Amino acid sequence: MSLALSSQSEMSRNKIEHVVNEESDTKVILQSDGDQSRSSGFCGYLLTFFSFLLVFLTFPVSVWFCMKIVQEYERAVIFRLGQLLGSAKGPGLFWIIPCVDTFRKVDLRKVSFDIPPQEVLTKDSVTIMVDAVVYYRVFNPTVSITKVENANHATQMLAQTTLRNMLGTKSLADILKYREEVSEQMEAMMYAASKNWGIKVERIELKDVKLPTTLQRAMAAEAEATRDARAKVGV
């Protein structure tokens, strides 16, 4: 009973630490973005004024062009005259000004993708083929739009390079024996890079480790020899 309670408390502490780290990363990124904010100038204010005037003159028809809706799992990043307008909006109803405002929707749901089989040379000079699956989500919609052109594609490319680099520092025995530890290390490496894009890597799982045919035969022969030796000892 005490072991179960201690494990549950440890899991809750880990979840709290993940949330705190995520919030601190978001604050740092938003502070760096805030330093880059610029004024639109006189022309920008003039265009905004005429847009408000157009909305007023065409009311109530213009309401349908100003009113936008995003789903519970979405956020809208708004740009006014090409510049970021505050934080992401949503979920629900929000308003834009026609002609001067544009917006992009960002999906906050967890996404998974397969890493295609990668040829990896391990630390003990064994060539293997490894594939994996990655689970991630967007935790900062604004940064995922403004800091990287295509956050999904960038995350997939990062996952492939991280897989090769990480497994290249491990021996074949460590990869086969300590899959969970290797996956956790890859997750930490990916999040260290992807947090600057507003991406949180939730989990990485190694799916299959394919050994060379010659190595498979050698391991099978060794296992068979071990079984034969045990059988002779038993006799």
At 46-105, the pLDDT tens digits run 888 888 888 888 888 888 889 999 999 999 999 998 889 888 998 999 999 888 999 999
Q: Is the pLDDT of residue 13 over 80?
A: no
Q: Is the pLDDT of residue 39 over 50?
A: yes
| Strand-by-strand arrangement of the 111-121 sheet | 111-121, 127-138, 199-210
Q: Could you tell me whether strands 92-95 and 67-70 are parallel, antiparallel, or unpaired per DSSP bridges? A: antiparallel
Q: Is the pLDDT of residue 225 over 80?
A: no
Q: Which residues pair with 133 in a beta bridge?
A: 114, 205
CB-based contact 96:68 (threshold 8 Å): yes
d(CA 138, CA 90): 14
